[in-house]
Structure 1
Amino acid sequence: MSRRKGEQPIPRLLDTWSESHPVVHMIRTGSSWFAAWQMQKCTPTAKLARQTGIAAARLTAISHGDRMSRAELDALARAWNVSAGDLAGSIPDKRLVMD
């Protein structure tokens, strides 16, 4: 993102999870929770790996339904600009997040 000299950066507001969120529709129509967030936020795996510090192979495992740690969930939440609680709330199987 480029901006002019002296111009203030645009604040990034947290995305709020609700029943009317586009990710809800994607999950209901067959997308996995991970794919739905990845498509909504337009983050290729390589970029997501750089932003989160999670290896691309590990992200692929998570996207295929592997369990994840709370630290991984927090990193994904920061990358997708959503609270960790809202991201965890979007995961249909709560057993996927390990504390």
Structure 2
Amino acid sequence: MRGTCEQPGPIFRQQLAKDHPVASMMATGDPWLLAWRGQALVRLDQLARDTGIPVVRLFDIERGESITLEELISIARVIHADPAELIASLPDPALLIA
């Protein structure tokens, strides 16, 4: 078990498979978070309620703002996705703030 002062390990970015449904939606122009929400059939207000992230913040993330690792993990939990796949689908790795 990690101590409270330990930092999380490094984040490794894998590649999202080209035939993944989210990759297909992104290829047609959907923002990464919108594509994941569409795949999971989760509305923005549902995602806000279940993650505790305000709707306005989720909308900003969906429009290309940076995202913290904590936010990403919360979203992954709600949409039943692997956090590594969400990281792989970010349009720019620099959007993730560890």
TM-score (norm. length: structure 1): 0.79
Name the structure 2 match of 1:58.
57
Name the structure 1 match of 2:71.
72
Name the structure 2 match of 1:12.
none
Question: What amino acid is aligned across from residue 50 of structure 1 in structure 2?
Answer: R
Name the structure 2 match of 1:25.
24
Q: The residue matched to 1:30 in structure 2 has which SS? A: coil
Could you say what the CA RMSD is over the residues aligned between the two structures, in angstroms? Answer: 1.0
Which whole-Å CA distance do the structure 2 matches of 1:53 and 1:65 have between them? 19
Deviation at 1:18, TM superposition (A): 2.7
Deviations 1:10-30 (A, max 9, x none): xxxxxxx53211111111111
Name the structure 2 match of 1:37.
36
Which whole-Å CA distance do the structure 2 matches of 1:28 and 1:45 have between them? 21
Which consecutive residues of structure 1, in runs of 5 or more, have no partner in the other structure? 1-16
Which whole-Å CA distance do the structure 1 matches of 2:83 and 2:37 have between them? 15
Name the structure 1 match of 2:82.
83
Structure number with bigger Rg: 1
Which whole-Å CA distance do the structure 1 matches of 2:83 and 2:20 have between them? 16
Which consecutive residues of structure 2, in runs of 5 or more, have no partner in the other structure? 1-15
Question: What amino acid is aligned across from residue 93 of structure 1 in structure 2?
Answer: D
Aligned length: 83
Which whole-Å CA distance do the structure 2 matches of 1:54 and 1:27 have between them? 23
Which whole-Å CA distance do the structure 2 matches of 1:56 and 1:27 have between them? 21
Percent identical across equivalent pairs? 35
Runs (4+) of structure 1 exceeding 2 A deviation are none
Deviations 1:48-84 (A, max 9, x none): 0111110111101111111011100000110111111
